[in-house]
A and B are shown apart, each in its own frame.
Chain A
């Protein structure tokens, strides 16, 4: 799948998730995203997520619920009371606050799962291709950093063993130094070696593009315009004019960046093709968003436990529409099945 399609999917997922606190819809979304995570795991993309989304949820929901319960003291159903003299935490602990905290945690888990999908589905190389041309060296640096992660992890293990062999025990904070120093020095040495390799392969900075007047004036003008637009919106309440000025400022900055990018010469080897599958995913996201925002009103998505906690409402249409986010899983599984299919020899019937 094309990375742009994934970005579009992520944008839709974030918008949909942030639009509701109804725990039933959020749970459905979480299950869908976890399914997509498992479907898109690919052995060729190295970006490990530190923790699986389900585990993250199991951790964050209770924590968030408890924290909210002891810090917010509104709601009708009081469970018990903490003594009043404790600052910030003192006061009644209510079921409503507990539920609100839980739904906040659930929302975080859903967002985490959505980003995990992107992390696993799109390789770093594809992601950084979206960085503007002008910042190509930044893109290369990020690529190198990611390449170095597995090497660094292996180094940590080697250093721990080497220090253990000379009697090192982890007793106090100072004992981190023998682990940290060789890692740092080794990392610097490797960085220097890599710099030499890259120089030998022709990656030297081009002559710095002349700082022509357009770049400098343009950047400043663009920033001023954006600021002015923001002020217009907020201080003077002129929403329309404010937006126009902000848009103008963004255009100017975009123009400057594009101009700077013209000096950077490089070509790209891999080309991602936009296929029917990408259209399918886009359509799914579009349909979901249309149903969520056009065909249901705000109230249908709204849920709050305050003032008295009650069971949330589940509207079937919305629940069904959320399934639109599952299309990438179908696409991924189908692609996998095609890749393992036994090729049919000529003259034979497929078994």
Chain B
């Protein structure tokens, strides 16, 4: 169905090719995952399927590609659009029209199909993706997951045999991501649609994949095979697989159910995490909130919150979408004014203070770091924040070179920030808010769009700053992140805190929020792979 023979591609003006001598043969009806570190060329490989590489991107392509009997290079994207549907990462930038039904019909109008045929196809695609109740809605009123389903529907309206998706769920919250994946697996299972997808968060998708394509970091040979085989070779794996590799489970489990078959054989009952000395958080809290009530117009968002975060502590805040987590962060820095209640930073009430002054003491990293970046070089970004606060490089609270080294960006000091990868851009934005050496840090969904390597780096950064005495508040959906770094967890629902405490207590038993390790070893208090191995050793000795 899809074959690559000796395919090599390099970007225009680049000396080294992105990948060389790629050989693949994908049969019809498969669900293929493309994995690899960030920036390694997954998107580029996907764009070879419908001719966007080289027609849209330029560059030099050699070798032979066949998709559904056609050569994408010769046929051009216009012809390939009827054989290969393509869905991109950002749900915000894929639409031409403002209504759902019009958007789906757009591609059909372009193909100059007769009206009757268009109506049939629009109906069929609305049903396939459960979009019928949304058909009259304006696209901007839809959630991210619904928008991505509309994008898939628009691609499927032309009845392609192959659907290619470039990280479709990376910008979505877990519920929306699940809806999209559910639709995709149904399309693959019921309709026999061939699906090729690039994805970082393997936890969600691995159970459904038939095969994996792995693109290694150093330009080595691109691998293709069954998931269990390929995963044995690579490092970027979800906790379940990492544990399986460490304990020698074979075949490697891809689902919790498969993993439980192995974990049941272990002495679960006697497993306990190695007790960390419980830090006593005495002394003045770094920032605190009393009786906070916030409403947008007449709609209450936060109802009477009370909590404090101490220096040297990482607090995680989790909860469903729309429960007010981002609003809470914004009220901590003064971007949103509460109706009632007090916010104190370092003992001082921030009511009436300008946001810029508050942010000298609390750093806030918003969900979309791109909105922060506009300078020509990374170093300039740091200097701009300094200038905004009336400081110069000479009397900067942290020497800029040291800050760049801490963030791992020393060799990118003169690079254009928007050219960097997602993880690097996030670190530049972090640098831009950390340059005044604030005592606290607020992070809103910091792991969105990051691969496992970048996430590890972020974990280490946060732990390092925490150990230096910083107070950190993390808002996230990513329970693995919470399991890895948080000292305390709060669960927010409908504007109130409904649970708070130790991560092991709050996450360990929750059916919704338990990380993979906790699901494998229920009621033990274990949350990460790093805790399991020592615990097993102790249990073996005992």
- Interface positions of A (Cβ within 8 A of B): 44, 46, 123-125, 140, 143-144, 146-147, 150-151, 155, 158-159, 161-169, 177-178, 181-182, 185-186, 189-190, 193-204, 265-271
Contact = CB atoms under 8 A, between A and B. Distances in A.
Contacts of A200: 50, 52, 77, 81, 85-86, 155
A185 B351 CA distance: 34
Given A168-B356, A185-B374, A269 B115 contact: yes
A196 B52 CA distance: 8
B467 to A, nearest CB: 25
Give the size range of B's interface with the partner: 35 or more
A196 B43 CA distance: 13
29 contacts: A46-B98, A124-B98, A125-B99, A143-B96, A158-B368, A158-B371, A162-B369, A162-B372, A164-B356, A165-B366, A165-B433, A166-B432, A167-B360, A167-B389, A186-B371, A193-B93, A196-B52, A196-B56, A197-B88, A197-B94, A197-B151, A200-B86, A200-B155, A201-B154, A267-B109, A267-B114, A267-B118, A269-B101, A270-B105
Given A165-B372, A166-B432, 10 more contacts: A162-B366, A165-B359, A166-B384, A167-B356, A168-B356, A182-B372, A197-B93, A200-B77, A269-B109, A269-B115
Contacts of A193: 88, 90, 93-94
Contacts of A144: 96
Contacts of B418: 185, 189
Contacts of B366: 158, 161-162, 165
Contacts of A271: 115
Contact of B372 (A166, A196, A197, A198): A166
B115 A194 contact: no
B331 to A, nearest CB: 12
Given A164-B356, A182-B371, A182-B373, A194 B105 contact: no
A234 to B, nearest CB: 44
B138 to A, nearest CB: 6
Nearest to A141: B96
Contacts of B115: 267-269, 271
A165 B364 contact: yes
Give the interface SS of chain B, mostly helix, strand, loop or mixed.
Answer: helix
B96 A198 contact: yes
A204 B77 contact: yes
B368 A190 contact: no
Given A151-B140, A197-B93, A267-B113, A202 B107 contact: yes
Contacts of B78: 199, 202-204
The 5 closest A-B pairs by CB, nearest first: A167-B388, A202-B81, A269-B105, A162-B371, A181-B374
A125 B107 contact: no
A119 to B, nearest CB: 14
Contacts of B93: 189-190, 193-194, 197
Nearest to A192: B93
Most chain B CB within a 10 A radius of its CB, from A194, A197, A270: A197
Interface in B349-389: 354-356, 359-360, 364, 366, 368-374, 384-385, 388-389
Contacts of A46: 98, 138, 140
A158 B96 CA distance: 22
A202 B364 contact: no
Interface string B64-100: 0000000000001110011001101010111111110
A159 to B, nearest CB: 5
Contacts of A150: 140
A199 B55 contact: yes
A203 B110 contact: yes
A70 B187 CA distance: 72
Give the interface SS of chain A, mostly helix, strand, loop or mixed.
Answer: helix
A199 B110 contact: no
Contacts of B364: 165
B234 interface: no
B397 to A, nearest CB: 13
A178 to B, nearest CB: 6
B99 A44 contact: yes
Contact of B355 (A44, A123, A165, A199): A165
A166 B86 CA distance: 37
Contacts of B112: 265-267
B472 interface: no
Contacts of A194: 93-96
Nearest to A179: B374
Nearest to A187: B93
Given A269-B105, A269-B109, A199 B388 contact: no
B136 interface: yes
B121 to A, nearest CB: 10
Contacts of B88: 193, 196-197
Contacts of A202: 77-78, 81-82, 107, 110-111, 158
Contacts of A168: 356, 388
Contacts of A266: 109-110, 112
Contacts of B474: none
Contact of B359 (A167, A195, A203): A167
B500 interface: no
Most chain B CB within a 10 A radius of its CB, from A124, A163, A185: A163
A165 B326 CA distance: 14
Given A44-B138, A167-B359, A202-B111, A182 B335 contact: no
Contact of A199 (B52, B92, B154, B369): B52
Contacts of A158: 366, 368, 371
Nearest to A177: B374
Interface in B33-52: 50, 52
B122 interface: yes
A199 B52 CA distance: 8
Contacts of A190: 90, 92-93
Contact of A169 (B102, B354, B374): B354
Contact of B95 (A125, A147, A189): A147
A147 B333 contact: no
B468 to A, nearest CB: 21
Nearest to B102: A125
B483 to A, nearest CB: 28
A8 to B, nearest CB: 24
Interface string B7-51: 000000000000000000000000000000000000000000010
A262 to B, nearest CB: 13
B492 interface: no
A269 B102 contact: yes
Contacts of A164: 335, 355-356, 359
Contacts of B95: 147, 194
Contacts of B482: none
A132 B530 CA distance: 66
Nearest to B364: A165
B459 interface: no
A140 B106 CA distance: 10
A146 B99 CA distance: 12
B356 A169 contact: yes
A188 B402 CA distance: 33
A33 to B, nearest CB: 25
Contacts of A147: 95-98, 139
Contacts of B385: 166-167
Nearest to B108: A269
B330 interface: yes
B374 A155 contact: no
Interface string B138-167: 111000000000010011001000000000
A84 to B, nearest CB: 51
Given A194-B93, A201-B110, A165 B333 contact: yes
Interface string B118-147: 110010000000000000101110000000
